Chains A and B, each alone.
Chain A
Amino acid sequence: MLLDERLVESLLAEALKVGGEFAEIYAERRRTDSLSLEDSRLERCSIGLDAGASVRVTKGRSISFVSTDRLDEASLREAARLAGEGVAGGGAGLKRLELASALSEHPIRIAPDSVETSAKAALLHYADRAAREAGAEVTQASVGYSDTVSEIMVANSEGCLAAEERTRVRLIARVVAAREGVMQTGYESVGAHTGMELFEASDPASVGRTAAGKAIVMLDSRPSPSGKMTVVMHHGFGGVLFHEASGHGLEADAVEKNTSVFAGRIGEQVASELVTLVDDGSIANAWGSNAFDDEGVPTRRNVLIEKGILRGFMYDRLRARNAGAEPTGNGRRQSFRHPPIPRMTNTFILAGDSTPEEIIASTERGFYAKTLAGGQVEPATGDFVFGVSEGYLIEDGEVKYPLRGATLIGNGLVALKNVDMVAGDFEFNIGVCGKDGQGVPVGSGQPTLRMVEMTVGGTEV
């Protein structure tokens, strides 16, 4: 354990001395190695250590939170005292700490610190070489690698004590291809809550090759048309759209403040019957998984929308208590410097009965979104916008030619209701989700599916 159990108990007592209903200590020690390569040269290598703790005291809906970049007793005591003074009144007791057990395991086989930095550097070169060999059009390739090993510990006044070591490895390639003055970029990444064994399953070369392929194919693109179109979302990347457009509105902080389109609608039909949306932070070794969330609650599988019916929300401890619900293992934070808030883990739409071929063949005219570039959503309205980095025109049931400069724009609720075909070819993608200035690793996934109507913003009227 990062901190001694006795010390933790006395810090919790200190935090609750002048009031508060709930106190919590979160300590963390995180090592990060990151390497980046550009123009076939390993440009940067950084080795970092972050260590510190924070104390949180809550009363009603008020939160007092103090963090320090130190793990020594004096600094921790001062943080506990200050956090306690931030809320007055209340006066909760302290329960004996009991070590929590997780519902999932995320075994690590090859610890990143057991691997030489030069061997990590080689991975970037493999990806780079494969990208450059993918086609004469490739003009630029950049590759980024990072691994983090984070030891965390969390304890609270309700007696919860949890500790976990989390290891994540990720490799990203970004490739620029050019032909006759036209330039396009392609992107691909792999990552998991695992050690270096990630690269036994995911070849670094294929990461580079895939990114290059995406850039090259877009060189033949034509400007995207604008207007309402049927949209077919390729498996994998479209999950990001549902993460943004539906997932954020299912996080309990937005629901509690009624700034979510889903607030007060449990049991209602909010999506097409073909849509079952799940958040599951317990999937073994997935990028968005942990054994515990950042409040010591074991992660688990939560069905959010079942066959179109809204079933539940994602809670942290505070919002669960306010709502009289169970915490769902979704209380997450970027680091010890950030208070936990309700967040997604791995969020996905379950596979359906159609095939991707059927979906395309039955689409007379449509937009086929293969890779999304990221986007934004306004949780209060559900309005979203997404850039499409790899898109195609579908005509007469066939994928015709690539389209560039397209944006998908719509509303989360409408998009969910408009799903009329779902295939069985499920795939996950990884990313870092930003909310309230905090980034956390998330997975999102979905099978190939079709939405009857969505606004495509292009450069051609």
Chain B
Amino acid sequence: MNDEANMLELAKKTLEMAESTGVDQAEVLAMVTRSTRVKVYRQEVEELVSATGSGVGVRVLKGSAVGYAYTSDTSEDSLAAAARAAAAAAAVTAPDEYEGLPEPAAEFPRLDLYDEKLMQVPLADKIELAKAVERAALERDRRISQVEGATYAEGEGSVALANSLGFSRAYRETTCYAFLQAIAEQDGKMQTGVSFTTGREPSQLEGEAIGREAADRALSLLGGSQCRSMSCPVVMDPFVTAGVIGVIGGALTGESVQKKRSMFAGKEGQAVAVTAVQLIDNGIHPQGLASAPFDGEGVPSQETVLIKDGILQGFLYDAYTGRKGSRASTGNGVRGSYRSQPHVGATNLELRGGTATGDEMIASVELGFYVMDVTGIHSGVNPVSGDFSVGANGRLIRDGKLAEPVREVTIAGNLLSMLTSVITVGNDNRWVPFGGSIHAPSLLIGEMTVSGK
């Protein structure tokens, strides 16, 4: 039997155990993952890590009170113990009329998330890929002193979900990525640059290209110093834009709005950005690593337009926040693993419809700041007010060209005012797998506060 069938069987078996504890509704997620990660350093394998993980998560409802339990031990005894624990947990939580399993849908998107080639490519070739990533960076320039964490990583997994409303489905997926951090050194000072590439099987990865790119990013920051404090136009590269979109996506969930923690609360139907801004949560993008036929509670994944021509269209919902807000679930009941309950969140976020390349944006700026790296984006942004202040590295822009490197400055402002002062959205989208799965372009902002000396 294959993994999908095995997991489905495990889910159904555990579902029966959960239902027999006397609860009103039950749901079981069962999954298995096999992952491998190779890290090379100076052309030698530094770390070869492989893991087999499996487990089940049991969610039950007693009336409208929810309880949860999980176990990585799938022996009969442990499954039964998890079923009982979930029922016991439901005895202490408060009832909530909006809780409940979603009604099973009739249709599901057909997605091709599994590529046989991932498991067919021999390990030696995958190690070679990681080495090629490192080599490409080292050979780029003499000033690249070393590469930290040149990595190839992959995962193969099957996910099954069954619930007492009759839902019973499974899917499988493969993912892989390569990553590195290049370190450039000059006059005893170091600068770092990262890059990454993602795919469903190794031949989709652009290993050498990311090696060169990370090297270039580190090199271009060498010799940086603080610039003078000023208010000026800012060009964000796609990595930085992705960080910003991740925070915005977090504020666009039904939960953030209902719990009054969103800067977008009450702004549905209003202009929250310039008309060039199109923001979509796309749970079915073929290249998006967060794509799946259904979410963590069995609702079909979909494409949800969040901001269209600058107008806020709506928010992301799972079954719970949907019911609470009298909306349908948008298939955003995401779940990290069997250890966690479904929770509303973004899948793949895309900022679409851009018209210019990063270079064209730079060329349009007389004096400004090109941001290549921000730190503290998750601690430095107030999700309620949108106020932010983050550390930044990058280059000054002078007369439409990249000029001296800048480090140790902060950029500050407000996310809402930033969205309304976007001048240009880029067409140079790329996938950024950190802080979510985000397809982000460069962005030109009219004015921001840069604090230096």
Interface contact A457-B451, CB-CB below 8 Å: yes
A227: which of B375, B382, B451 is its contact (CB, 8 Å)? B451
CB distance from B394 to the nearest CB of A (A): 13
Alpha-carbon separation in the docked complex, A45 to B67 (Å): 6
Rank and list the top 7 A-B pairs by shortest CB-CB distance, nearest first.
A457-B410, A385-B391, A226-B451, A374-B379, A45-B89, A407-B389, A41-B94
CB distance from B325 to the nearest CB of A (A): 15
Q: Which of B145-168 contact A (CB under 8 A)?
A: 145-146, 148
Q: Does A101 contact B (CB under 8 A)?
A: no
> CB-CB < 8 A to A6: which residues of B?
none
Q: Which of A23-56 contact B (CB under 8 A)?
A: 35, 38-39, 41-52, 54
Other than A117-B92, A383-B375, give 5 A-B pairs with Cβ distance below 8 A: A47-B82, A49-B72, A49-B73, A67-B52, A457-B410
Interface contact B192-A457, CB-CB below 8 Å: no
Interface contact A404-B387, CB-CB below 8 Å: yes
Interface contact B410-A176, CB-CB below 8 Å: no
Interface contact B410-A46, CB-CB below 8 Å: no
Q: Which of B43-89 contact A (CB under 8 A)?
A: 44-55, 66-73, 78, 81-82, 85-86, 88-89
Q: Does A275 contact B (CB under 8 A)?
A: no
A69: which of B49, B55, B393 is its contact (CB, 8 Å)? B55
Interface contact A42-B71, CB-CB below 8 Å: no
Interface contact B408-A455, CB-CB below 8 Å: yes
* Highest count of chain B CB atoms <10 Å: which of A118, A182, A183, A384: A183
Interface contact B93-A407, CB-CB below 8 Å: no
Alpha-carbon separation in the docked complex, A67 to B71 (Å): 16
Q: Does A258 contact B (CB under 8 A)?
A: yes
Q: Does A228 contact B (CB under 8 A)?
A: yes
- Asked if A139 meets B260 with Cβ closer than 8 Å, knowing A226-B451, A387-B389, the reply is yes
Q: Which of B102-155 contact A (CB under 8 A)?
A: 145-146, 148
- Asked if A44 meets B341 with Cβ closer than 8 Å, knowing A61-B44, A378-B192, the reply is yes
* Highest count of chain A CB atoms <10 Å: which of B45, B380, B393, B409: B380
Alpha-carbon separation in the docked complex, A373 to B146 (Å): 32
Interface contact A46-B89, CB-CB below 8 Å: yes
Q: Does B186 contact A (CB under 8 A)?
A: no
Interface contact A227-B229, CB-CB below 8 Å: yes
Question: How does the 8 Å CB contact mask read for B435-453 relative to A, with 1 for contact and 0 for none?
Answer: 0000000000000010111
Interface contact A407-B412, CB-CB below 8 Å: yes
Q: Which of B399-432 contact A (CB under 8 A)?
A: 407-414
Which secondary structure characterizes the binding site on chain A?
strand
Interface contact A457-B341, CB-CB below 8 Å: no
> CB-CB < 8 A to A140: which residues of B?
259-261
> CB-CB < 8 A to A44: which residues of B?
66, 68, 93, 341
Interface contact A86-B48, CB-CB below 8 Å: yes
Closest A residue to B71 using CB positions = A49
A373: which of B68, B380, B408 is its contact (CB, 8 Å)? B380
Q: Does A62 contact B (CB under 8 A)?
A: yes
Q: Does B230 contact A (CB under 8 A)?
A: yes
CB distance from A46 to the nearest CB of B (A): 4
Interface contact B51-A68, CB-CB below 8 Å: yes
- Asked if A63 meets B451 with Cβ closer than 8 Å, knowing A375-B376, A387-B379, A407-B380, the reply is no
Alpha-carbon separation in the docked complex, A235 to B340 (Å): 35
Alpha-carbon separation in the docked complex, A120 to B385 (Å): 33
> CB-CB < 8 A to A45: which residues of B?
67-68, 89-90, 92-93
Interface contact A381-B231, CB-CB below 8 Å: no
Q: Does A131 contact B (CB under 8 A)?
A: no
Alpha-carbon separation in the docked complex, A461 to B449 (Å): 7
Q: Does B291 contact A (CB under 8 A)?
A: no
Alpha-carbon separation in the docked complex, A409 to B449 (Å): 15
CB distance from B281 to the nearest CB of A (A): 24
- Asked if A42 meets B92 with Cβ closer than 8 Å, knowing A376-B391, A407-B410, the reply is yes
Q: Does B205 contact A (CB under 8 A)?
A: no
Q: Does B226 contact A (CB under 8 A)?
A: yes
> CB-CB < 8 A to B88: which residues of A?
47, 117
Which secondary structure characterizes the binding site on chain B?
strand
CB distance from A449 to the nearest CB of B (A): 21
Q: Does A397 contact B (CB under 8 A)?
A: no
Q: Does A355 contact B (CB under 8 A)?
A: no
Q: How many residues of A contact B (CB 8 A)?
A: 76
A183: which of B89, B375, B384 is its contact (CB, 8 Å)? B384
CB distance from A88 to the nearest CB of B (A): 10
Alpha-carbon separation in the docked complex, A63 to B48 (Å): 6
Alpha-carbon separation in the docked complex, A38 to B411 (Å): 33
> CB-CB < 8 A to A47: which residues of B?
68-69, 82, 85-86, 88-89
Q: Does B339 contact A (CB under 8 A)?
A: yes
- Asked if A66 meets B451 with Cβ closer than 8 Å, knowing A49-B78, A49-B82, the reply is no
Complex A-B: 24 CB contacts under 8 Å: A39-B259, A43-B66, A44-B93, A44-B341, A45-B92, A47-B69, A47-B85, A48-B70, A49-B70, A49-B71, A62-B44, A66-B49, A86-B48, A185-B382, A227-B229, A227-B451, A258-B145, A383-B375, A384-B391, A407-B412, A457-B390, A457-B409, A457-B412, A459-B414
Q: Does A82 contact B (CB under 8 A)?
A: yes
Closest B residue to A34 using CB positions = B68
Alpha-carbon separation in the docked complex, A42 to B91 (Å): 11
Q: Which of A52-110 contact B (CB under 8 A)?
A: 52, 54, 60-71, 82, 86-87
> CB-CB < 8 A to A64: which residues of B?
48
> CB-CB < 8 A to A65: which residues of B?
47-50
Interface contact A407-B86, CB-CB below 8 Å: no
Q: Which of A406-441 contact B (CB under 8 A)?
A: 406-407, 409-411
CB distance from B451 to the nearest CB of A (A): 4
Question: How does the 8 Å CB contact mask read for A175-216 relative to B, with 1 for contact and 0 for none?
Answer: 010000011010000000000000000000000000000000
Alpha-carbon separation in the docked complex, A117 to B92 (Å): 7
CB distance from A368 to the nearest CB of B (A): 17
- Asked if A48 meets B69 with Cβ closer than 8 Å, knowing A376-B375, A378-B375, A455-B226, the reply is yes
B51: which of A46, A67, A374, A455 is its contact (CB, 8 Å)? A67
Q: Does A380 contact B (CB under 8 A)?
A: yes
